[in-house]
């Protein structure tokens, strides 16, 4: 049994700590009086310093020490928390990450500059007369507490009354005794405690103050503290002022405001203390182990399908029974495995708070990021690959979508722009939406730009959706000025490529003056898909079942008639189709009973003519070798039950091909 | 040397009604309840009370209820008893029945 | 009526510190020099709270706490023990023996009074 490399473990831990620190700082930026967050940041820095020193990251430990000291002073009330200080430590945090990643790099100059910043921030804050801390409305915490003391608490000298008094001293407090556990007198052990309590507490004190009350009985008691989210009142003004904001879903959102440091903080903003999430029993497993397990499950699924083929071909009833059992079990195992690989998008979304904070800073805009559906779970490999496209999209929204405060005022909108980042599941897909209440996409400009760069013919007849999709073409940018952030036309085509690779689709809607919405629909999981196994010539191919709309007969006379014009009419609309036999140059004769499999990506459809539909097939996707990397028609390969290899068709590519064929024919005819 | 004395169905409780003495109080109340159909509990004005006593009287009410007996306080809770009722959160969310027992409020009888 | 406290410690200097701090805070103090002496004092009188060391000759603090918890006359009396380290094992053991709370040595008089007030509520 080998033990994991402690350095690697530390790096993982450090990454988590840095994220915690960042989250705390961002929360603090919104509510400078939030002592909980001051404590959280301090604790994070403290742990990072300690573990760093232990594992030989001396530069990290030394550097972190200064930030820790600064926050210790804030914690003790010697120095107020200011935006300058928060910004200084946020910048320092990035440096800490560098010190974790490349401990031997040349970081000294950067470090010194950051520390100078930090000192200036602390000194500035400490300067009497600034008094930010005194003026900042202290955030009140609203706690709901349920607790029961150990049964023998009274016998061992703990009197509950002083504890209840202490709770009352923390703030506004309502205490209700729950006496439902008191038995009848003859059954009562009179020195035992049967009463438990429910408490509602409004306090400026942090959660740790509650723990302090119970310090002596903490280990043996049951204490359940939940933070009650502040009333949604803070959002109401934004709603009434901004017509576009009304379309934001009302489901309890997390609101994070990011304002340029120079501007006054936005009025009271609802804040969710995500850190209060209940700690549950978790086992930490390295991601590679999960991948390994996934591979094994994949192999098992393949072996199982060979077994069912063998069993199906033999008359042995007992073998069939066993095979069916194995099939069921491996199916269940696969499902369990899938659940294991699912992680909530919380962490992914968490990054954007920092991004939006920085973007607001750089652009001088006031931007409020609202995230929804953070608990939506997605396969971890999907999450990893979604990060970059989302960064591009959010940047694009901040940079191009949202107007400057002046423009917004002139347009009668609230100065603060809103960006909604939401995730939800929908029938085997996760839908991630980036929505802003900015200026919307200027269709004329998109068209002009596309025409001038030759992407479309002048006056080409395009639907809005087709027009919007053009922004994902390589080299496309309508921004008139190139900024530091985006506008170089790099990015949006990367988004499209990545989403295609994930077998996902992009949908754009936009209203001029009201904002834009870009939805990404991505399959929940990548590694195993349900596919439709088809035969074309002598080869077998897998079509992802999620893309299949329907299967039709293609009678031979219809096939003959349609030669030269590759369309079939499907319920009053013409659908282009591709003869896979021709595409793959099989050189075989068409089967007399050909089938058309209609596949779609969002609104686009295309029919695939195949020789035979073999049936449903659960497929473990194997990547293709580098040699075949450029083959666009296939997204991967799989091993069939009999050991043969089948290629998996790339739906996005084939649909695009079909559409292109349609465009050619239209242009010709 | 019993700390309590019996006069008719009135039961006068000892001064110390804290966890330190509560085991004896339980025995005495049990014995008393078993002897009579209707018990009136009399509390000293400067008795010492803690949660164990409130708990005990609640248990006694349950016992009397199931045994078909009547139990009441001679006077509404006051002084130290009322103080503990308040501090321990018993006063919040009291039913009409509870209010009648502890504070003699509400009910006509 | 001020609360009465029994302090049990074999160190004369600690007993003195404790006595000064608690008397100044208005408590009545009785002293015992070890666990055995502590039990003797407990048999002779009533206390509202006990502050005891753990490491003592003749009878150590843990044993004294266990004995004390067997005495019905002292049912529920709070016991605060002094411990030199924030060692969790010792805390757990003392809690299991029936202790109510603890104070880490070295302590300043204010924190002693604070802990006593916290446990007694007065």
A429 and A557 both lie in a single domain? no
Residue B1 lies in a domain: no
Instruction: Give the CATH number of the domain where residue B87 resides.
Output: 3.30.750.24
Closest residue to A159, CB basis, from C69, C102, C121: C121
A221 and A172 both lie in a single domain? yes
Dihedral sign from CA coordinates of C48, C52, C57, C59: positive
Task: For residue B16, list its beta bridge partners.
Answer: B48
Listed residue (A221, A193, A158) closest to C119, CA to CA = A158
pLDDT band, residue C87 (cuts 50/70/90): low
Cα nearest neighbour of C80 on chain A: A157
Q: Does B13 touch chain A (CB under 8 A)?
A: no
Residue B29 lies in a domain: yes
**Least confident residue range of A5-14, A129-138, A444-453, A601-610:** A129-138
> For residues A561 and A170, what is the distance between their CA atoms, to the nearest angstrom?
84
Residue B79 lies in a domain: yes
> For residues A182 and A302, what is the distance between their CA atoms, to the nearest angstrom?
60
Cis amide linkage into residue A313, ω under 30° from 0: no
Q: Which residues fall within 8 angstroms of residue A189, CB to CB, at 6 or more apart?
A: none
A89 and A198 both lie in a single domain? no
Residues in chain C: 122
Tell me: the pLDDT tens digits for C7-51?
999 988 888 888 989 998 999 999 999 999 999 999 999 999 999
> For residues A446 and A452, what is the distance between their CA atoms, to the nearest angstrom?
10
> For residues A525 and A543, what is the distance between their CA atoms, to the nearest angstrom?
16
Quick one: tokens of A232? 């949604």
> What is the ipTM for the molecules in this complex?
0.92
- Mean pLDDT for the stretch of residues A420-432: 83
A447 and A322 both lie in a single domain? no
- Mean pLDDT for the stretch of residues A76-89: 82
Show residues of chain C in contact with B46, CB under 8 Å: none
Listed residue (A128, A430, A161, B58) closest to C76, CA to CA = A161
- Mean pLDDT for the stretch of residues A27-46: 84
Residue B61 lies in a domain: yes
Q: Within chain B, what is the greatest distance between any pair of CA atoms?
A: 39
Q: Which residues fall within 8 angstroms of residue C74, CB to CB, at 6 or more apart?
A: B20, C42, C46, C47, C68
Q: Is the pLDDT of residue A249 over 60?
A: no
Query: What is the model's pLDDT at position A229?
Result: 66
Quick one: tokens of A210? 């509650």
Query: What is the model's pLDDT at position A248?
Result: 37
- Mean pLDDT for the stretch of residues A250-256: 41
> For residues A532 and A549, what is the distance between their CA atoms, to the nearest angstrom?
11
For residue C8, with 0-12 CB atoms within 10 Å meaning exposed, 13-18 middle and 19 or more buried, which class applies? buried
- Residue A138 vs residue A324, higher pLDDT: A324
Query: What is the model's pLDDT at position A254?
Result: 43
Judge contact between A158 and A220, C-beta under 8 A.
no
Judge contact between B90 and B54, C-beta under 8 A.
yes
Contact yes or no for C76 and B23 at CB 8 A = no
Residue A251 lies in a domain: no
- Mean pLDDT for the stretch of residues A448-454: 81
DSSP state of A374: T
- For C103, phi then psi, to 5°, come to -140, 130
A28 and A91 both lie in a single domain? yes
Query: What is the model's pLDDT at position A313?
Result: 80
pLDDT band, residue A622 (cuts 50/70/90): low
- 3-class SS letters over A310-373: HHHHCCCHHHHHHHHHHHHHHHHHHHHHHHHHEEECHHHHHHHHHHHHHHHHHHCCCEEEEEEC
Question: What does the CA dihedral A346, A349, A355, A356 come to, rounded to 10 degrees?
Answer: -110
Subunits close to A (at least 3 CB pairs below 8 A): B, C
> For residues A16 and A93, what is the distance between their CA atoms, to the nearest angstrom?
12
Show residues of chain B in contact with A175, CB under 8 Å: 88-89, 92
Task: For residue A419, list its beta bridge partners.
Answer: A369, A436
Chain B, 37-96: which have a CB under 8 Å from a chain A CB?
A: 50-52, 54-56, 58-60, 62-63, 66, 84, 87-90, 92-93
Residue B108 lies in a domain: no
Quick one: tokens of A202? 């409004």
- Residue A426 vs residue B19, higher pLDDT: B19
pLDDT band, residue A129 (cuts 50/70/90): very low
Q: Is the pLDDT of residue A492 over 70?
A: yes
pLDDT, averaged across chain A? 77
Query: Taking the mean position of all CA atoms in its chain, how far away is CA A622?
Result: 25
> For residues A536 and A590, what is the distance between their CA atoms, to the nearest angstrom?
9
- Mean pLDDT for the stretch of residues A292-318: 81
Residue B103, sorted as left (phi over 0), alpha (psi -120 to 50) or beta, turns out to be: alpha
A395 and A509 both lie in a single domain? yes
Residue A235 lies in a domain: no
Tell me: the pLDDT tens digits for A523-568?
776 656 678 889 998 888 988 887 888 888 877 777 766 665 677 7
- Residue A109 vs residue A45, higher pLDDT: A45
% of chain B exceeding 90 in pLDDT? 40
Show residues of chain A in contact with C92, CB under 8 Å: 219
Residue A650 lies in a domain: yes
Q: How many CB pairs under 8 A join B and C?
A: 13
Query: What is the model's pLDDT at position A209?
Result: 87
Closest residue to C76, CB basis, from A157, A216, A219: A157
For residue A150, with 0-12 CB atoms within 10 Å meaning exposed, 13-18 middle and 19 or more buried, which class applies? middle
Nearest 5°: the CA angle C59, C63, C65 is 115
**Least confident residue range of A512-516, A532-536, A633-637:** A633-637
Query: What is the model's pLDDT at position A623?
Result: 64
Listed residue (A95, A212, A487, A156) closest to C99, CA to CA = A156
Query: What is the model's pLDDT at position B8?
Result: 52
Q: Is the pLDDT of residue A647 over 80?
A: yes
Query: What is the model's pLDDT at position A78?
Result: 77
Query: What is the model's pLDDT at position A344?
Result: 82
Residue A597 lies in a domain: yes
> For residues A177 and A175, what is the distance between their CA atoms, to the nearest angstrom?
7
Show residues of chain B in contact with A194, CB under 8 Å: 55
pLDDT band, residue B108 (cuts 50/70/90): very low
Q: Is the pLDDT of residue A366 over 90?
A: no
% of chain A exceeding 70 in pLDDT? 80
- Alpha carbons within 13 A on the beta-carbon side of A377: 6
Q: Does B3 touch chain C (CB under 8 A)?
A: no
Residue B17 lies in a domain: yes
**Least confident residue range of A163-172, A193-202, A477-486, A584-593:** A477-486
Which DSSP string do the residues of chain B spell out, in sequence order? --SS-EETTEEEPPSEESTTTHHHHHHHHHHHHHH-SEEEEE--TT-EE-HHHHHHHHHHHHHHHHHT-EEEESS---HHHHHHHHHTT-STT--HHHHHHHH--S---
Residues in chain B: 109
Which residue range(s) make up the domain with B19?
6-103
- Mean pLDDT for the stretch of residues A97-122: 79
Contact yes or no for C119 and A161 at CB 8 A = no
Closest residue to A157, CB basis, from C79, C92, C122: C79
Min Cα–Cα distance to chain B from C28, Å: 19
| pTM of the complete model beyond 0.90 | no
Query: What is the model's pLDDT at position A625?
Result: 64
Q: Which residues of A553-572 are buried (b: 16+ CB within 10 A; e: fewer)?
A: ebeeeebeebeeebbbebee
Number of domains in chain B: 1
> For residues A272 and A251, what is the distance between their CA atoms, to the nearest angstrom?
13
- Of A228, A248, A279, the last residue of a domain is A228
Show residues of chain C in contact with B27, CB under 8 Å: none
A383 and A414 both lie in a single domain? yes
Q: Tell how strand A342-344 and strand A377-379 pair up.
A: antiparallel
Q: Does B55 touch chain C (CB under 8 A)?
A: no
Instruction: Give the CATH number of the domain where residue A194 resides.
Output: 3.30.70.120
Min Cα–Cα distance to chain B from C61, Å: 21
pLDDT, averaged across chain B? 85
Which residue range(s) make up the domain with A597?
528-668
Q: Is the pLDDT of residue A334 over 60?
A: yes
A498 and A380 both lie in a single domain? yes
Instruction: Give the CATH number of the domain where residue A387 resides.
Output: 3.30.565.10
pLDDT band, residue A199 (cuts 50/70/90): very high
Residue A271 lies in a domain: no
- Alpha carbons within 13 A on the beta-carbon side of C53: 26
A20 and A111 both lie in a single domain? yes
Quick one: tokens of A574? 């013409």
Instruction: Give the CATH number of the domain where residue A629 resides.
Output: 2.30.30.40
Quick one: tokens of B3? 């700390």
Query: What is the model's pLDDT at position C117?
Result: 93
Task: For residue A523, list its beta bridge partners.
Answer: A429
> For residues C95 and B88, what is the distance between their CA atoms, to the nearest angstrom?
24
Which ranges constitute the DSSP H helices of A436-476?
A: 443-452, 464-469
Domains of chain C: 4-120 (3.40.50.2300)
A313 and A454 both lie in a single domain? no
Distance set, CA A662 to CA A212, A537, A669 (Å)? 72, 25, 10
Show residues of chain C in contact with B23, CB under 8 Å: 72, 75
pLDDT band, residue A91 (cuts 50/70/90): confident
Number of domains in chain A: 5
Quick one: tokens of C54? 């753990």
Min Cα–Cα distance to chain A from B61, Å: 8
A401 and A548 both lie in a single domain? no
Q: Is the pLDDT of residue A267 over 60?
A: no
**Least confident residue range of A96-105, A264-273, A300-309, A652-661:** A264-273
């Amino acid at each position: 049994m080998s033990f994991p490399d402690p350095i690697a473990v530390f790096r993982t831990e450090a990454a988590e700590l840095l994220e915690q620190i960042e989250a705390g700082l961002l929360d603090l930026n919104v509510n400078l009086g939030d002592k909980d967050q001051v404590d959280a940041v301090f604790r994070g820095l403290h742990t990072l310093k300690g573990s760093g020193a232990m594992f030989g990251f001396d530069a990290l430990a030394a550097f972190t020490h200064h930030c820790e000291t600064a926050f210790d002073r804030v914690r003790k009330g010697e120095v107020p928390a200011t935006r300058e200080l928060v910004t200084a430590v946020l910048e320092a945090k990035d440096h800490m990450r560098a010190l974790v990643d490349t401990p031997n790099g040349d970081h000294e100059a950067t470090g010194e500059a950051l520390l100078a910043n930090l000192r200036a921030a602390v000194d500035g804050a400490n300067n009497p007369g600034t008094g930010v801390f005194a003026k900042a409305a202290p955030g009140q915490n609203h706690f709901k507490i349920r607790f029961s003391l150990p049964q023998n608490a009274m016998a061992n000298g703990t009197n509950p009354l002083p504890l209840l008094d202490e709770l009352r001293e923390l703030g506004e407090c309502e205490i209700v005794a729950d006496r439902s556990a008191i038995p009848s007198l003859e059954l009562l052990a009179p020195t035992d405690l049967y009463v438990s309590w429910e408490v509602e507490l409004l306090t400026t004190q942090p959660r740790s103050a509650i723990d302090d009350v119970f310090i002596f009985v903490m280990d043996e008691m049951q204490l359940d503290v939940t933070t009650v989210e502040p009333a949604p009142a803070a959002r109401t003004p934004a709603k009434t002022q901004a017509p576009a904001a009304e379309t934001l879903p009302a489901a309890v959102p997390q609101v994070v405001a990011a304002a340029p440091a120079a501007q006054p903080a936005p009025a009271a903003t609802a804040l969710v203390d995500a850190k209060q999430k209940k700690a549950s029993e978790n086992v930490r497993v390295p991601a590679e182990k999960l991948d390994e397990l996934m591979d094994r499950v994949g192999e098992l699924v393949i072996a199982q399908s060979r077994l069912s083929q063998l069993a199906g071909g033999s008359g042995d009833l007992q073998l069939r029974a066993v095979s069916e059992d194995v099939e069921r079990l491996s199916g269940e195992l696969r499902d369990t495995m899938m659940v294991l690989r699912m992680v909530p998008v919380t962490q992914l979304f968490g990054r954007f708070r920092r991004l939006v904070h920085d973007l607001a800073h750089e652009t001088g805009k006031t931007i409020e990021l609202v995230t929804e559906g953070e608990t939506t779970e997605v396969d971890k490999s999907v999450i990893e690959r979604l990060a970059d496209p989302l960064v591009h999209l959010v940047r694009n929204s901040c940079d191009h979508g949202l107007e400057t405060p002046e423009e917004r005022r002139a347009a009668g909108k609230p100065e603060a722009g809103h960006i909604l980042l939401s995730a939800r599941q929908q029938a085997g897909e996760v839908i991630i939406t980036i929505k802003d209440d900015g200026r919307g996409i200027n269709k004329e400009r998109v068209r002009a730009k596309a025409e001038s760069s030759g992407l479309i013919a002048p006056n080409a007849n395009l639907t809005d959706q087709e027009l919007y999709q053009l922004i994902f073409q390589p080299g496309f940018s309508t921004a008139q000025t190139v900024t530091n952030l985006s506008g170089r036309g790099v990015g949006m085509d990367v988004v499209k490529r990545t989403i295609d690779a994930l077998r996902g689709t992009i949908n754009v809607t936009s209203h001029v003056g009201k904002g834009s919405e870009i939805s990404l629909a991505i399959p929940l999981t990548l590694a195993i898909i349900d596919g439709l196994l088809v035969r074309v010539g002598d080869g077998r191919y897998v079509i992802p079942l999620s893309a299949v709309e329907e299967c039709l007969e293609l009678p031979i006379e219809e096939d003959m008639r349609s030669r030269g014009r590759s369309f079939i009419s499907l319920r009053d609309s013409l659908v282009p189709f591709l003869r896979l036999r021709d595409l793959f140059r099989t050189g075989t004769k068409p089967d007399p009973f050909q089938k058309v499999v209609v596949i779609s990506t969002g609104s686009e459809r295309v029919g695939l003519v195949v020789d035979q539909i073999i049936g449903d097939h659960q497929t473990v996707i194997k990547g293709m070798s580098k040699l075949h990397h450029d083959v666009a028609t296939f997204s991967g390969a799989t091993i069939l039950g009999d050991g043969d290899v089948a290629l998996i068709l790339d739906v996005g590519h084939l649909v695009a091909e079909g559409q292109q064929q349609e465009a050619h024919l239209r242009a010709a005819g | 040397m019993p700390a309590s004395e019996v006069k008719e169905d009135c039961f006068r409780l000892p001064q110390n009604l804290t966890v330190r003495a509560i085991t004896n109080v339980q025995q005495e109340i049990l014995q008393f309840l078993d002897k009579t159909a209707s018990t009136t509990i009399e509390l000293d004005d400067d008795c010492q009370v803690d949660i164990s006593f409130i708990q005990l009287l609640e248990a006694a009410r349950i016992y009397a209820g199931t045994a078909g007996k009547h139990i009441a306080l001679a006077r509404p809770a006051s002084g130290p008893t009322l103080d503990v009722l308040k501090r321990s959160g018993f006063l919040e969310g009291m039913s009409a029945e509870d209010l009648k027992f502890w504070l003699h409020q509400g009910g006509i009888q | 009526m001020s609360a009465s406290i029994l302090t049990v410690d074999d160190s004369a200097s600690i007993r003195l510190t404790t006595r000064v701090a608690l008397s100044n805070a208005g408590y009545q103090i009785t002293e015992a020099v070890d666990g055995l002496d502590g039990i003797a004092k407990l048999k002779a009188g009533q206390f509202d709270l006990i502050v005891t060391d753990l490491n003592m000759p003749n009878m150590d603090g843990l044993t004294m706490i266990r004995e004390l918890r067997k005495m019905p006359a002292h049912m529920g009396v709070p016991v605060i023990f002094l411990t030199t380290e924030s060692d969790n094992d010792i805390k757990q053991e003392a809690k299991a023996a029936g202790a109510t709370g603890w104070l880490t040595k070295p302590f300043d008089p204010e924190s002693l009074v604070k802990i006593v007030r916290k446990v007694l509520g007065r």
